[in-house]
Amino acid sequence: MSIIVSVRNGSISDTLKSYAEQKAQTIINEYSKITSVRVIMDTQKSRYKAEIILRGKNIDIEAENESYDMYESVDIAAEKVDKQLRRHLDKIQDHNKPAKYPKKKEEKLPDPPEGCEDYIDM
């Protein structure tokens, strides 16, 4: 499992990079078959954009958010990815429930008493 944090325009601090890695690690813990998580951060004037791309076995999820705070952008993008991941897991999970009213077992009639040949099986 690899976590890649990159920046398109500008540079980021080590605390922001470790914060993004921590968010990505919590996402990885949810699903064991994730192979890579990319967190791409972008700055445009006073707007900050965070994009999270999740790749794994039979799963490709992408989410992005744009706001005035980079930490907020990373948080909301991580929430979006988490929500999409949970929906995906719900779809592939088997939701078949046992029957509400199980079939009744057929009851056996008791053996006829001795000396009674007229006993009829019903």
**pLDDT tens figures, 71-86:** 999 999 999 999 999 8
**pLDDT tens figures, 98-114:** 666 666 667 777 776 67
Residues 86, 57, 91, CA angle at the centre, nearest 5°?
35
Asked if 78 and 61 touch (Cβ cutoff 8 Å), the reply is: no
Task: Please give the Cα distance from 65 to 48 (Å, whole number).
Answer: 8
**pLDDT at position 96 over 90:** no
Residues 6+ apart with CB under 8 A from 122: 109
Nearest 10 degrees: CA dihedral of 78, 84, 85, 87?
150
What pTM does this model have?
0.72
The domain locations on the chain are: 2-75
CATH number assigned to the domain with residue range 2-75, chosen from the 4 options 3.40.50.300, 3.30.360.10, 3.30.160.100, 3.40.50.410: 3.30.160.100
